[in-house]
A and B are shown apart, each in its own frame.
Chain A
Amino acid sequence: MGFMVVIGIAVARLRNLFAVVMLTGIFSLTAAVLYVVLDAVDVAFTEAAVGAGISTVLMLGTLALTTSEEKAHESGSHPWALMLVVVTGMALVYGTLDMPPYGDPTAAIHHHVAPYYLEKSFGHTGLPNVVTSILASYRGYDTLGEVFVIFTAAAGVLLIIGRAKFGRRRTVRLAPGELRDSMRQNVILRVVSKLLIPVILLFAFYVQWHGDFGPGGGFQAGVIFAAGFILYTLIFDIDTARTMISPRITRLGLAAGVLLYTLVGVASMLKGGTFLDYSVLADTQVKGQHLGILLVELGVGITVASAMVSIFFTFAGQER
């Protein structure tokens, strides 16, 4: 954790935004390691895929479109800002003095619904991964909301910079198979990425379907799947990638995932249960829950993957 603080301070001091973005990636990776230490394997998985992968790539995309150097200011330091921060920090430290110490099993947080989930979830859903059970079943409404937020954010990105009005649309279009960038001519990169991409996509599917039993699930699988395509786009060209998976498909997938999730909820209503109550979907409760969770996670995976790919395509398709 000390490492994280050091990185944080470095980020605050540095003016070269490229270095800042790289440090943010390392920061995320350190956070992921910390999550493993703190037993949150699912969270660590997500953080490693998202923080160290996708968000770094997106930030670099922004830097390529804007500028990679922060301007120095005459005013220099901001004493008022530092003072405000220190005062707020002191107040928060004072607030923590009442908190239960690290790892205390008698803390209030562990005594409401958590023991119920841990004891009953296997009987209800038949899945050993409690995180997945809670995510997709007990807290299905929350997750549906989150998926809608991702959908909205991706739609927002497409609306804001998806349609360049000021002639920023790429003018040079490459025929498929034509070589241009030095990166494409690098044989090692090309061969290795060609070997790796199928494995990455396969791993994404494994994470998707195995998420019920081990760490993983729709969110992580979606991000890993998108990472495979992003790697392809980085090594080869955006236009080549677009011929393989067109923007129309990603936009369709964006909506289809949310729709699938909602339809599972509606289906359980039609079969006589309440919204997102999967127990009625099959003849036994465990089977129904299992089916519902599988479908819902699939919906999450489709939406997240399409959102990430279409956001990335939008950024990469810009021209300075």
Chain B
Amino acid sequence: MDFFSDFPGLLNYWVVIVLMMIGFYIVIAHDNLVKKIVGLNIFQVSVFVFYITMAKIKGGTAPILAEGITTYSNPLPHVLILTAIVVGVAMTALGLALVVRIRDAYGTIEDDEIQAQESEDL
């Protein structure tokens, strides 16, 4: 594979994977619930970038029809991600509402402290 002739080649996908793994790491390794939600957000954005990267065609333009342009990028992934972003923020809001509620019930938003309280109760 001649890397330089078709730059960036697969580089975009690899960056997406790095971002995805950062998000994944935050979700599994951190105990703070807000941090977990931030991690999920990063994971989510990496998937968005993945889709949008696939939609791009070299030399293409944005899929708004105009005269004199023949190559457009693929509009279908754009539609999917456009709605996914707004749904994503609604879901983030739901998660944050749960965090606020958990803080009410347990007085903390650290996962391990909640676990400790739970096992005390039993």
Cβ of B63 to closest chain A Cβ, rounded Å: 4
Contacts of B75 in A (CB 8 A): 114, 117-118, 130-131, 134
For chain A, the count of residues having a C-beta within 8 Å of the partner chain is: 102
Q: Which listed residue, B9, B19, B66, B74, touches A114 by the CB 8 Å rule?
A: B74
What sequence of 0s and 1s flags, for each residue 29-63 of chain B, a beta carbon within 8 Å of any chain A beta carbon? 11110110111011001001100111111111111
Contacts of B23 in A (CB 8 A): 8
**Which of chain B's residues has its CB closest to A153's CB?**
B90
Cross-chain contact A58 with B93 (CB below 8 angstroms): yes
* Bound: A65/B78 CA distance, A: 35
Q: Which listed residue, A2, A5, A96, A166, touches B13 by the CB 8 Å rule?
A: A96
Cross-chain contact A128 with B66 (CB below 8 angstroms): yes
What sequence of 0s and 1s flags, for each residue 73-91 of chain B, a beta carbon within 8 Å of any chain A beta carbon? 1111111111111111111
Cross-chain contact B41 with A40 (CB below 8 angstroms): no
* Bound: A86/B34 CA distance, A: 23
Cross-chain contact A39 with B41 (CB below 8 angstroms): no
Cross-chain contact B48 with A5 (CB below 8 angstroms): no
Contacts of A93 in B (CB 8 A): 14, 17
Whether a CB of chain B sits under 8 angstroms from the CB of A154 is: yes
Whether a CB of chain B sits under 8 angstroms from the CB of A99 is: yes
Cross-chain contact B91 with A153 (CB below 8 angstroms): yes
* Bound: A12/B42 CA distance, A: 10
Cross-chain contact A103 with B83 (CB below 8 angstroms): no
Cross-chain contact A143 with B83 (CB below 8 angstroms): yes
**Which of chain A's residues has its CB closest to B74's CB?**
A114
**Interface residue stretch chosen among A41-49, A229-237, A287-295:** A41-49
Q: Which listed residue, A35, A66, A110, A222, touches B57 by the CB 8 Å rule?
A: A110
Cross-chain contact B17 with A81 (CB below 8 angstroms): no
Assess A38 versus B32: contact at CB under 8 Å? Given A102-B56, A160-B97: no
Contacts of B64 in A (CB 8 A): 41, 128-131, 213-215
Whether a CB of chain B sits under 8 angstroms from the CB of A269 is: no
**Which of chain B's residues has its CB closest to A155's CB?**
B94
**Which of chain B's residues has its CB closest to A218's CB?**
B86
**Which of chain B's residues has its CB closest to A145's CB?**
B83
Cβ of B110 to closest chain A Cβ, rounded Å: 5
Contacts of A286 in B (CB 8 A): none
- Main DSSP-derived SS at the A contact region: helix
Cβ of B81 to closest chain A Cβ, rounded Å: 5
Contacts of B110 in A (CB 8 A): 70-71
* Bound: A110/B77 CA distance, A: 10
Cross-chain contact B78 with A101 (CB below 8 angstroms): no
Contacts of B122 in A (CB 8 A): none
Contacts of B101 in A (CB 8 A): 160-161
Contacts of A55 in B (CB 8 A): 41, 89, 92-93
Whether a CB of chain B sits under 8 angstroms from the CB of A104 is: yes
The interface centre, meaning the residue of B64, B82, B97 with most chain A CB atoms within 10 A of its CB, is: B82
Cross-chain contact B86 with A28 (CB below 8 angstroms): no
**Interface residue stretch chosen among A186-194, A245-253, A310-318:** A310-318
* Bound: A9/B19 CA distance, A: 9
Cβ of B64 to closest chain A Cβ, rounded Å: 5
Contacts of A58 in B (CB 8 A): 89, 92-93, 96
**Which of chain A's residues has its CB closest to B35's CB?**
A70
Cross-chain contact B62 with A41 (CB below 8 angstroms): yes
Cross-chain contact A46 with B85 (CB below 8 angstroms): yes
Cβ of B30 to closest chain A Cβ, rounded Å: 7
* Bound: A110/B58 CA distance, A: 12
